[in-house]
Amino acid sequence: MTDKTFIIKKIQQLKEEKNAVILAHCYQNIEIDEVADFVGDSLYLSQQASYTSKDIIVFAGVYFMAETAKILSPNKKVLLPRKEAGCLMADMIDINQLREFKAKYPGVPVVCYVNSSAEVKSECDICCTSSNAVSVVKSLGAERVLFVPDTYLGNHVSKQLPDVEVITYNGFCPTHLRILPDDVDKMRSLHEKAIVLSHPECHQEVVKRSDFTGSTSQIINYVKKSNEKEFIIATELGVKERLERDYPDKEFYLVSPKAVCPNMKWHQLEDILNALINEEHEVVVEKNIAKKALAPIERMLGLRD
């Protein structure tokens, strides 16, 4: 038995013994899918976290995702295998910066991308993910909306909803911003028949050059339904790898070798095993904050995009 097979077997055993579920984001190292119970985008994973009856949730994703799972399932133990797995965008706004931003626009509702801390969520009106941002903003029926922290996703929403003024905070995803419009042009000239699929965290110029823009799961679904054979993937490497695995008769090209999120790549199979053995690193959210942060998350889930 190879080391890898042994580790996978141990993880499966421990999952049973400890009544644990493993949730994995589709930017994770692909081998983690071999032990994951659910793989998907942030919305799907937060839904799974809210439904699960297991005692332990091992979150192969970044910190804000595990924190969201803990808020939704306060009585469960939520584990983040590597505690270094943060999100640079989520770190771009803290509670004081949020308060300053809100103070400039009194009374304007605040939509908070889930890529944010529990504390930030706790003072926002509703959360969204990249797959439901447009419908969440629309659901407020407001003329003006504040959108934190991602200015790019906020601007993307604004383009879809011309009747709503979307005032964005100045956060961004460094990984998606490494994808340049020029990269898309170059790839298109190399693969003329390919369809360009991008994530809304990308530059507007990348989005404009795309045939479709959506969350990671929406991109995967697009490929599933499409009869086309070639695709240029303008999001993180993990999506391209999963598409290659699942659609061997189609061709996928990563738009840029720089489209890799280092934070998402922290967790290895060994870390998942250690997380289960030692029940580490447990995600803790202060009770009052968790209670307040639950409302905007539940409000989003209530829309059941």
- Interacting residues toward ligand SF4 by CB under 6 A: 62, 87-89, 115, 173, 175-176, 201, 236, 261, 263-264
Q: Which does 117 bind (CB under 5 to 8 A by kind): ligand SF4, ligand 13P, none?
A: none
Q: Which does 216 bind (CB under 5 to 8 A by kind): ligand 13P, ligand SF4, none?
A: ligand 13P
Q: Which does 69 bind (CB under 5 to 8 A by kind): ligand 13P, ligand SF4, none?
A: none
Per the omega criterion (within 30 degrees of 0), is the bond before 181 cis? no
Q: Which does 263 bind (CB under 5 to 8 A by kind): ligand SF4, ligand 13P, none?
A: ligand SF4
Residue 113 CB, shortest distance to ligand 13P, in Å, is 9
Q: What's the chain's Rg over C-alpha atoms?
A: 19
Q: Which does 215 bind (CB under 5 to 8 A by kind): ligand 13P, ligand SF4, none?
A: ligand 13P
d(CA 47, CA 302): 10
Instruction: Tell me whether residue 27 or residue 252 sits nearer to ligand SF4 (CB atom).
Output: 27
Q: Which does 158 bind (CB under 5 to 8 A by kind): ligand 13P, ligand SF4, none?
A: none
Residue 54 CB, shortest distance to ligand 13P, in Å, is 21
Instruction: Tell me whether residue 97 or residue 221 sits nearer to ligand 13P (CB atom).
Output: 221
Residue pair 57/248 in contact (Cβ under 8 Å)? The answer is no
Of 72, 95, 60, 52, the residue nearest 263 (C-alpha) = 60
Instruction: Tell me whether residue 28 or residue 215 sits nearer to ligand 13P (CB atom).
Output: 215
Residue 137 CB, shortest distance to ligand SF4, in Å, is 19
* DSSP-assigned letters across all residues of 175-201: HHHTS-HHHHHHHHHHSTTPEEEE-TT
Instruction: Tell me whether residue 236 or residue 271 sits nearer to ligand SF4 (CB atom).
Output: 236
Residue 3 CB, shortest distance to ligand 13P, in Å, is 30
d(CA 295, CA 150): 21
Element (H, E) at 7: helix 3-18
d(CA 2, CA 8): 10
Instruction: Tell me whether residue 11 or residue 98 sits nearer to ligand SF4 (CB atom).
Output: 98
Per DSSP, which regions of the chain are E strands?
Answer: 20-25, 38-40, 56-60, 77-79, 110-113, 126-128, 144-148, 165-168, 195-198, 212-213, 230-234, 251-254
- Can you give the binding site for ligand 13P, defined by CB under 6 A? 41-42, 115, 129-131, 173, 201, 215-216
Do the strands 110-113 and 126-128 form a parallel or antiparallel pair, or are they unpaired?
A: parallel
Residue 131 CB, shortest distance to ligand 13P, in Å, is 6
Instruction: Tell me whether residue 115 or residue 168 sits nearer to ligand SF4 (CB atom).
Output: 115
Residue pair 173/152 in contact (Cβ under 8 Å)? The answer is yes
d(CA 122, CA 299): 12
Q: Which does 88 bind (CB under 5 to 8 A by kind): ligand 13P, ligand SF4, none?
A: ligand SF4
- Say whether 171 sits in a helix, a strand or coil: strand
- Say whether 150 sits in a helix, a strand or coil: strand
Residue 272 CB, shortest distance to ligand 13P, in Å, is 19
Instruction: Tell me whether residue 8 or residue 44 sits nearer to ligand SF4 (CB atom).
Output: 44
Instruction: Tell me whether residue 87 or residue 184 sits nearer to ligand SF4 (CB atom).
Output: 87
